[in-house]
């Protein structure tokens, strides 16, 4: 228990020393800024159009497969076992094709999002960094989550590790 008290005192000491230095903090509403950017609005529209097109393509294939399945079910009693087995294999293949289409659409969507939003994120991060440096902010937090968006202040990690005897 005594070791825990010493550890707590050491952490408080390190935090106090770092707090003694006047740090300038700020917050930013990241989602508010992002949603106000014209580039983000255009990217969202493009992504939605892409997604709608892929979903329509998959729905068309799924509807065709369902129609064929219903037809096969209706005709099954009139067909031979070999024909029914061949039809089952065909339906299985159609199901696999639809699954592959869905997986490819998801992968394509992720790639399109990365390409579309990468430059937007870079532009936003560059603007945050520029504002932070211009106003002397050492830390900027996301107002919605409390996560650090910009960190320019001193890092006490090494001092805490040294105090704890950790390398």
pLDDT digits (tens, 9 = 90+) for 60-101: 999 999 999 999 999 999 999 999 999 999 999 999 999 999
Residue 100 lies in a domain: yes
> Measuring CA to CA, how many Å separate 142 from each of 25, 33, 80, 128?
11, 11, 66, 11
Residue 65 lies in a domain: yes
Residue 3 lies in a domain: no
What's the structural domain count of the chain? Answer: 1
**140 class by beta-carbon count within 10 Å (0-12 exposed, 13-18 middle, 19+ buried):** buried
pTM for this one? 0.68
Banded model confidence at residue 1, pLDDT cuts 50, 70, 90: low
Q: For residues 138 and 110, give the distance between their C-alpha atoms in angstroms, rounded to a whole number.
A: 33
Residue 1 lies in a domain: no
Residue 153 lies in a domain: yes
- Domain range for residue 107? 17-164
Banded model confidence at residue 6, pLDDT cuts 50, 70, 90: very low
pLDDT digits (tens, 9 = 90+) for 34-65: 989 999 999 999 999 999 999 999 999 999 99
Banded model confidence at residue 146, pLDDT cuts 50, 70, 90: confident
Q: Which residues, 6+ apart, have CB-to-CB distance to 26 below 8 Å?
A: 132, 135, 137, 139, 140, 141
């Amino acid at each position: 228990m005594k070791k825990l008290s010493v550890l707590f005192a050491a952490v408080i000491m390190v935090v106090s020393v770092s707090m003694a230095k006047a740090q300038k903090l700020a917050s930013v509403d990241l989602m508010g800024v992002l949603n106000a950017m014209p580039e983000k609005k255009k990217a969202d529209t493009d992504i939605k159009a892409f997604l709608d097109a892929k979903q329509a393509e998959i729905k068309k294939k799924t509807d065709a497969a369902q129609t064929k399945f219903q037809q096969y079910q209706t005709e099954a009693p009139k067909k031979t076992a070999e024909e029914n087995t061949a039809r089952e294999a065909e339906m299985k293949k159609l199901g696999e094709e639809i699954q592959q289409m869905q997986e490819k659409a998801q992968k394509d969507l992720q790639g399109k999002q990365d390409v579309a939003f990468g430059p937007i994120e870079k532009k936003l991060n560059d603007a945050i960094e520029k504002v932070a440096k211009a106003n002397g902010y050492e830390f900027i937090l996301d107002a919605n989550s409390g996560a650090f968006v910009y960190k320019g202040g001193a890092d006490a990690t090494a001092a805490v590790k040294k105090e704890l005897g950790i390398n």
